[in-house]
Structure 1
């Protein structure tokens, strides 16, 4: 039942091992033992290859092998270009002549360069309508890839029709046809007007209107069943002048002068009083 001091079990925390060793607990005691080492396989980063060779990993080991040549290693003379050609068992960069193109060909006048089976050839230029001057009455058209002067199609601009006829295109051909009659060519006598009746212009009597009728005083023109008539004008307050103190009002469709209702505007009250309306009458109070 009493506290006692006992030995603490030592551990690797209490031991400093020399380089190349590491601490392991053996039979309950820390021991410095030789560190196990593993050999790292070399890689291409660990070797330097000679000029013209390059490192490649073969079966897990780096080897210097001859580098495959490319077009970046050679300069070709003018007129040639580099291409990788089959030089079994490898492809080799080779300078080969450039393929001819129209850019490098100068053709004589009247010809133009065209590629025929991957080869530039100078061929006669095909004429076009821009180079052809056609005589009057004809126009240039391309017929089977060749410019040809063909007669102009006639139009109404090319013919003059006699009086009473007008030009119309019939099946792409201009023809003079009788003019359709219209009211534009008809002069009707006074009191009549032109109207188209079954595709023909006719002079028919004008229907009278209020413009043709003058009505006496106190009457006005009104259209009654399609005819102008003078009817008595209904009287209104505009026709009546009322005396002072009265005003015009319509009483059963007739204007009448009736007394004006007095208001405070018509009354002058003595000093100390004011006008007020009492049962529709002004009073000074």
Structure 2
């Protein structure tokens, strides 16, 4: 059975997709080009909530506050819509998932351990609730930003 690496879609407006049961198929790319939404709403590409197989992105109208239209992210990040925890909330997603030495890219709601704060402190009001590079287990973030073993904290 071919995978999307082997399956070449014939038309440029098609994309290879994999169904939940492992089938690969070509499908037209969804766009918002011909969608007109009511005032206060914008078009966004979403997967239908009750979809179980061969799920495709479909254009739907959503309120502006639940979209990335008026949501600005810093350079190196892009706006995405959260589908977990608090659904349909825009957030900034870091595009570069390569982390420095002794760090891993992960989603966390906890502030990481530092040389100054060695107890795990969780407060979603203070801690960033988004994917980011964090120190590996057994490492602490030093003032210079590097993740080091406890012995190298000064």
More contact order relative to length (CA 8 Å, sep ≥ 6): 2
> Normalising by structure 2, what TM-score?
0.23
Indicate the structure (1 or 2) with the bigger Cα radius of gyration: 1
> Normalising by structure 1, what TM-score?
0.14
Q: Which one has the bigger helix percentage? A: 1
